[in-house]
Structure 1
């Protein structure tokens, strides 16, 4: 049974924004999150955990991107989260030098 057209995104730009936010934006957020966690905790444990949790987080962020009404707003949210996590990963070694 095909989807009802009134629930589908009509704009090609919105569709493009949602698809790219789901794939690229979700990946950026999940990797930057694990980099931030790795800068505060043991890097070896974080890498082992990242092998599974990064994929689960990426899929959840993909679903969230397609549930959003506006693709550009979800891009803004994903870029803001990525920059926040990257700032945390940059600050982490300065305030927590014990983690190698």
Structure 2
């Protein structure tokens, strides 16, 4: 049974924003989050954990992107989160340079 058209996104730009935010933005947030953890905690354990939790987080962020009404807002949120995690990476490397 096909989806009801009234629930589908009509704008091609919104559809493009949601798809790219789901794939690229979700991946960017997932990787930056795990790299931020690696800059503060044991790198080996975080990288091994990222193999599984990174994929799960990426899929969850994909679902969130498609549930949102506005794809550009999701892009803004994902880029903001990536920037926040990048700042945490920088601070972790600055104040905790010997993270094992």
Q: Which residue of 1 aligns with 2:84?
A: 84
Q: 4+ residue stretches of structure 1 with deviation over 2 A?
A: none
What stretches of structure 2 of length at least 5 have no aligned partner?
A: none
* C-alpha separation in 2, matches of 1:70 and 1:33: 23
* C-alpha separation in 1, matches of 2:79 and 2:48: 25
Please report how far the alpha carbon of residue 96 of structure 1 lies from its aligned counterpart in structure 2 after TM superposition.
1.8
3-state SS in 2 of match to 1:25? helix
What stretches of structure 1 of length at least 5 have no aligned partner?
A: none
* C-alpha separation in 1, matches of 2:62 and 2:93: 30
Could you state the TM-score of these two structures normalised by the residue count of structure 1? 0.97
* C-alpha separation in 2, matches of 1:78 and 1:24: 10
| Matched positions, count | 100
* C-alpha separation in 2, matches of 1:27 and 1:97: 26
What do you get for the CA RMSD once the two structures are aligned?
0.7
3-state SS in 2 of match to 1:85? helix
Q: Which residue of 1 aligns with 2:95?
A: 95
Please report how far the alpha carbon of residue 97 of structure 1 lies from its aligned counterpart in structure 2 after TM superposition.
2.8
* C-alpha separation in 1, matches of 2:92 and 2:77: 22
Could you state the TM-score of these two structures normalised by the residue count of structure 2? 0.97
